[in-house]
Structure 1
Amino acid sequence: MWVAVLVASVGAATAARVVGKVAAAASVVVVPFALWALAIHGLFFPEGRTVLAALGPARVTAEGLTYAGEIALRTAALVVVMLAFSMWVEVPVLRAALVRRGVPAQLGYVLATALGLAATVAERLERIREAQEARGLVVRPGLGGRFVAARLQVVPLVLQLVDEAGERAAALEARGQALPGRRTSYTDEPDSRAQRALRWLLAVASLAVVLSVVVPAVVGVFGGGR
């Protein structure tokens, strides 16, 4: 299932022409996590029986490698799904769709804006780095130098996002977003039959997955009690 989700997400990112950005952003999260899972479960898996190699107290087992691979694959699928969605979605259309379906205007705007910011964080960090290097910032080699440079870039980014959030909140308040009543939008929300059919298909598939897990668990609990 996780392989199918990952393949579908990569296919969607390829269709949206953002597969390069998705791969670069996902590797920042997935690669360190996969290495951590390999070091913990691949070398020190307590339930491992099939020993492939022994390195002192560490034992490389087939069961540990399988478990580490499953965790890394699951994480990769979840990360790629979220990144592909956040980089492909059109924020104005998403906000209009959320508001039309009963989501409060402020909440819909916050959700849509969060996705928009997630897709542009890398670009903002790149601009901050270029501005700091133009002012004489020198990134020293080594892990310590990179950590200092990352700290110097993250602080302006956070301050920039907080300042932008305050400006947008004031603009929303001035435009009456907090007032009750029906909202109208200048943004057209395309909703084809294929999209509606896909939404229903995903809803049914999600329900089927949940039932396939919950029902056997409930039956096992009550059946075992007898």
Structure 2
Amino acid sequence: MKQRLHPFTALTAAASAAVVTTAAAYWPLSVAVALAAVFLAVRREVAGRVLPAAAVILTPLCLSLLVLHGLFFPEGQTVLAQWGPARVTAEGLGFALELGTRTTACVLAFLLFSFTVSVPDLVSALAGRRVPPQFGFVLASTLTLLPAVSVRLDRIRQAQETRGMVVRRGLVSRLGALRLQMVPLVLALIDDAGSRAQALDARGFGSPGPRTTYREVADPPAQRRFRAAALVFAAAAVAGRIVASWPAGVPS
């Protein structure tokens, strides 16, 4: 029988990938991490949920990065095009590319974790480590809410198209349609989060005092060693980034 990943192992892998990618600040590495997350999502048969959710999060964010840094980057020197105060610079596009790919890698890594982790196993593992129940309560609410994002967005789009919304070609029209979909999506998610929080609270997730779990989550020694190595590697990446960015000539 194939050994299932312990929830802490999957969480450590996602967090370490995000930390290393952020510390490296190197867009080819970010692209590699993002592609690896997509490959694993396909292997785990959750790509149909991970990718739409990532598109909802990343599309407006990457567009804002492109506009903010691609057109209005004060440190840009190599001007590719200019329209009044807006300047398209190579440095601005490079910075937007680096920041956008880094954010994409982090979002995909955590979405992959959220769509593949077993929430009951995670809650049992947290209870076994004597983690405060409030933390497990919030985390369980969030993870049970994420899978509904893509379904909810598709329903909103279908409802708006039924009411006559037409998305024409062009960036302005697509951004307007995206804004009309984001507002009801966020309001619906907030409402769902409140309902799920009340249901979990009614089942004792937020109650203080000693807790007993009847679900055993296997934690093999190999996975514990992997988690330790991943955390050390992430800490080394952060330390290396701090040392590399230390001003020359300044004593440490």
Q: TM-score normalized by structure 2?
A: 0.70
Cα offset for 1:194?
A: 4.0
- Relative to structure 1, the CA distance from residue 201 to residue 58 in structure 2 (aligned partners, 3 Å threshold; closer, same or farther) is same
Does structure 2 retain, via aligned residues, the 8 Å contact 1:45–1:61?
A: yes
Task: Please name the residue that 1:138 is paired with.
Answer: 163
- Relative to structure 1, the CA distance from residue 156 to residue 40 in structure 2 (aligned partners, 3 Å threshold; closer, same or farther) is closer
- Relative to structure 1, the CA distance from residue 215 to residue 181 in structure 2 (aligned partners, 3 Å threshold; closer, same or farther) is same
Q: Does 1:214 align with 2:242?
A: yes
- Relative to structure 1, the CA distance from residue 20 to residue 225 in structure 2 (aligned partners, 3 Å threshold; closer, same or farther) is same
Secondary structure of the residue aligned to 1:178 is: coil
* Equivalent position amino acid for 2:92 in 1: G
- Relative to structure 1, the CA distance from residue 206 to residue 150 in structure 2 (aligned partners, 3 Å threshold; closer, same or farther) is closer
1:157-177: per-residue Cα shift (whole Å, max 9, x none)?
Answer: 54343233223212217xxx7
Whole-angstrom distance in 1 between the partners of 2:82 and 2:156: 47
Among 5, 13, 38, the alignment partner of 2:66 is 38
- Relative to structure 1, the CA distance from residue 159 to residue 207 in structure 2 (aligned partners, 3 Å threshold; closer, same or farther) is closer
Does structure 1 retain, via aligned residues, the 8 Å contact 2:72–2:88?
A: yes
- Point out where structure 2 has 5 or more consecutive residues left out of the alignment: 1-28, 168-172
Task: Please name the residue that 1:165 is paired with.
Answer: 197
- Residue correspondence of structure 1 range 54-69 to structure 2 within 5 A: 54-69=82-97
Pick which of 51-60 and 150-159 moved more: 150-159
Task: Please name the residue that 1:185 is paired with.
Answer: 214
Cα offset for 1:100?
A: 1.0
Whole-angstrom distance in 1 between the partners of 2:239 and 2:190: 41
- Relative to structure 1, the CA distance from residue 178 to residue 76 in structure 2 (aligned partners, 3 Å threshold; closer, same or farther) is same
| Identical-residue share of aligned pairs (%) | 39
Does structure 1 retain, via aligned residues, the 8 Å contact 2:31–2:105?
A: yes
Task: Please name the residue that 2:130 is paired with.
Answer: 102
Aligned residues: 216
Task: Please name the residue that 2:144 is paired with.
Answer: 116
Task: Please name the residue that 2:23 is paired with.
Answer: none
Does structure 2 retain, via aligned residues, the 8 Å contact 1:139–1:149?
A: no
- Relative to structure 1, the CA distance from residue 70 to residue 128 in structure 2 (aligned partners, 3 Å threshold; closer, same or farther) is closer
Q: Does 1:50 align with 2:78?
A: yes
Pick which of 22-31 and 155-164 moved more: 155-164
Cα offset for 1:34?
A: 1.9
- Relative to structure 1, the CA distance from residue 158 to residue 66 in structure 2 (aligned partners, 3 Å threshold; closer, same or farther) is closer
| Aligned-CA RMSD value | 3.2
1:69-100: per-residue Cα shift (whole Å, max 9, x none)?
Answer: 11111111121112111111110111111111
Whole-angstrom distance in 1 between the partners of 2:186 and 2:91: 39
Secondary structure of the residue aligned to 2:72 is: coil
- Relative to structure 1, the CA distance from residue 52 to residue 89 in structure 2 (aligned partners, 3 Å threshold; closer, same or farther) is same
1:38-76: per-residue Cα shift (whole Å, max 9, x none)?
Answer: 222222222222222334443322111111111111111
Cα offset for 1:141?
A: 3.5
Among 18, 24, 46, the alignment partner of 1:18 is 46
Secondary structure of the residue aligned to 1:224 is: coil
- Relative to structure 1, the CA distance from residue 128 to residue 216 in structure 2 (aligned partners, 3 Å threshold; closer, same or farther) is closer
Secondary structure of the residue aligned to 1:60 is: strand
